[in-house]
Amino acid sequence: MIKFLRVRNLATIEDLEVHLDQGFSILTGETGAGKSIIIDAIRLILGDKGSPDLVRTGRKEAFIEAVFDVSRQPIDLDGLPEPEDGELLIQRSITGQGTGKAFVNGVLVPVRRLRELSGRLIDIYGQNDHVFLLHLENHLGYLDDVVDDPGLLRDTARSARDLRRLVQEKRDLEAKEKERVQRLDFIDYQVKEIEAARLRPGEDEELLREREILKNAGKIAGLVDKALDLAYLSEDSLIPRLARLRSVLGELSVYDAAFGEFHHGLEEASILLRDAADELVRFKDRRAEIPENPETIEERLSVIEKLKRKYGGTIEAVVGHGEALRSERSSLEAGRERLQELESSIRSKFGEYSAFASRLGAERAKAAEKLGRLIEKEIAVLGMKKARFEVQLTDVPPSLDDGATIRDQGAQEAEFLLSPNPGEELRPLKRIASGGELSRMMLALKSVGKDKEVLKTLVFDEIDAGIGGKTAEFIAQKLRHLSARHQVICITHLPQIASSAAHHFHVEKKVEKDRTFTSARKLGLEERVEEIARLVAGSRLTAASREAAREMLDANREGG
């Protein structure tokens, strides 16, 4: 709610401050006193376009600031400083050139941010801008207030959200499908390249040794043959001679134990020599398997080095890269499976959503008839006795090709139609309703609906246009009832409405030294009696008009 409003240099207002309270407040004053300028100031705080013509003559800029109590009204400021002590400060300036600035809690913001905040803070009923009822998207909400099965509304919204989430996931996957296929092709190429190489750990080191052997093949072959010849192939080779020597030492050790140690040492030497000879034989056998053409080894080394350069510095790294690619390929192939799963889930969820939306449509058709009867009854009491009201429902068939048709609110749009006078056809509310009629329509809707809104400020600019008597009393009752849940601010010329308010502000215009000044002040009880008496009798106040005013105030105090 608005706690404080200050206006400087706006039209006929030089400097005006108003402290507002919760509940029902009214503004009265002579025609042309400047009541509408105060409403204009509120509109500017809410982001309306500022005209340079509004700047007071002789001043460079107009300035408006408002303090809102949002302690009972949770509000998301989207990164702006949070309210201190539950207070939100909005400021707006307009220069004579039509430029200006806007601030929220001291932070400079675009004017559009004020418009974004306005719908959460204030509704103004009067001129066609800022009129909540003129926005078609709000009509469905009022209709749903009288739907008999609120659970169906929740089920439809939940199903719509689930369906949109699945559709979006599918679109995201499809958007990445080309990239996924390309990546799979690339992975397949690399995996095949690595697998075709059939790498073995340490293979490159073996090949390097073999290359070195091939380079010195002739010399190595001669040395191997010579070593084998010395070991046991020649007549005086080492192995048989060493065996004979070991036998002799064995005999000597019988006579002298000291030779037993040498006998044992020669036995170990004999074993080592035989092992060396066996390894020479194996080496010679392997040599037979080594290709005589060294180009074969170079080609294999070239393949290995190429893979090492591309995928890692070692064979182990190349093999590890191949394993990682195979794992990624499995994940990407799972994405294809997920796409197929999503298609099935979407078909199932679309069927569920369509069923909920169809059932909700049937419930809304009944609710539309019910709301029509209730509103006609309410507006008749509020002075529109012959008016007809109807809710027109239009189907919006859901389609998976158009995500915008998968809506939380289901598969209908609603529009309010009104015929204010006998003999006139029903027409859209936005085309024919006056400010006063719209205000009364809003009161009727607030009376029959569940009113799920959080605390807001409701401003009525023309609600008493063309009414009086009992109708004015009924409107006053509705406004007072509404002020129990919201802050209500109303401009009125009717004593029935003025006397119903908890707070009364008088707006007046004075001319001093050829300059016009608009001011506003809160009235005390006796001042209220005088002002309401003026509303009853005009400028010629009488004891009777004052007594009537006092009785109206007393009656409203006694009535709560």
Looking from the CA of 486 toward its CB, the CA atoms found within 13 Å total 23
For position 129, what pLDDT does the model report? 42
Tell me the one-letter amino acid at 468: G
pLDDT (mean) for 356-366: 95
Query: Which two structure tokens, joined as six digits, stand for 92?
Result: 């707006």
Edge to edge, what strands does the sheet with 388-395 contain?
A: 388-395, 412-419, 427-428
CB 208 within 8 A of CB 384: no
Tell me which residue of 395, 432, 404, 396 sits closest to 416, measured CA to CA: 432
What is the β-pairing status of strands 24-28 and 61-69?
unpaired
The beta strand positions in 71-155, using DSSP E, are 87-95, 100-104, 107-109, 122-125
User: Of the ranges 53-57, 272-276, 373-377, which one carries the lowest mean pLDDT score?
Assistant: 272-276
For position 360, what pLDDT does the model report? 96
Using CA atoms, how far apart are residues 341 and 343, in angstroms rounded to an integer? Answer: 5
For position 454, what pLDDT does the model report? 59
Using CA atoms, how far apart are residues 498 and 495, in angstroms rounded to an integer? Answer: 5
What pLDDT digit, counting tens, does each position of 236-251 carry? 777 787 777 778 888 8
What pLDDT digit, counting tens, does each position of 280-312 carry? 777 777 666 655 566 788 888 888 889 998 888
Q: At what angle do helices 203-215 and 294-311 cross, to 10 degrees?
A: 150
Q: For the chain, what's the residue count?
A: 560
Give kind and range of the element (H or E) at residue 487: strand 487-491
For the chain, how many helices (H) and strands (E)? 17, 15
pLDDT score of 37 more than 90: yes
Q: What is the mean pLDDT of the chain?
A: 86
pLDDT score of 329 more than 90: no
What pLDDT digit, counting tens, does each position of 492-532 carry? 999 999 999 999 999 999 999 889 999 999 999 999 999 99
For position 498, what pLDDT does the model report? 94
Give kind and range of the element (H or E) at residue 498: helix 495-498
DSSP secondary structure of 350-393: HHHHHHHHHHHHHHHHHHHHHHHHHHHHHHHHTT-TT-EEEEEE
DSSP secondary structure of 179-241: HHHHHHHHHHHHHHHHHHHT--TTHHHHHHHHHHHHHTHHHHHHHHHHHHIIIIISTT-HHHH
**Domains, the chain:** 2-133+434-522 (3.40.50.300), 180-330 (no CATH), 523-560 (no CATH)
Tell me which residue of 503, 506, 529, 528 sits closest to 518, measured CA to CA: 506
What pLDDT digit, counting tens, does each position of 196-235 carry? 889 888 888 888 877 777 766 667 767 777 777 777 767 6
The partner residues of 512 in beta bridges, in order of sequence, read 515
Q: Return the ∠ at Cα 503 (arms to 497 and 509), rounded to 5°.
A: 85
Reported confidence tier of residue 275, pLDDT bands at 50, 70, 90: confident
Tell me which residue of 27, 42, 254, 239 sits closest to 130, measured CA to CA: 42
For position 216, what pLDDT does the model report? 62
Using CA atoms, how far apart are residues 124 and 115, in angstroms rounded to an integer? Answer: 13
Max CA distance (Å), the chain: 161
Residue with the two structure tokens 């979006």: 168
Using CA atoms, how far apart are residues 404 and 399, in angstroms rounded to an integer? Answer: 8
CA 13 to chain centre: 42
pLDDT score of 130 more than 50: no
Tell me which residue of 34, 350, 312 sits closest to 167, measured CA to CA: 350
DSSP secondary structure of 224-293: HHHHHIIIIISTT-HHHHHHHHHHHHHHHHHH-THHHHHHHHHHHHHHHHHHHHHHHHHHHHHHHHS-S-
Tell me the one-letter amino acid at 496: Q
pLDDT score of 326 more than 80: yes
Give kind and range of the element (H or E) at residue 27: strand 24-28
| CA dist list (Å): 438 to 46, 130, 136, 249, 500 | 20, 12, 14, 130, 21
Tell me which residue of 66, 53, 67, 65 sits closest to 12, measured CA to CA: 53
For position 38, what pLDDT does the model report? 94
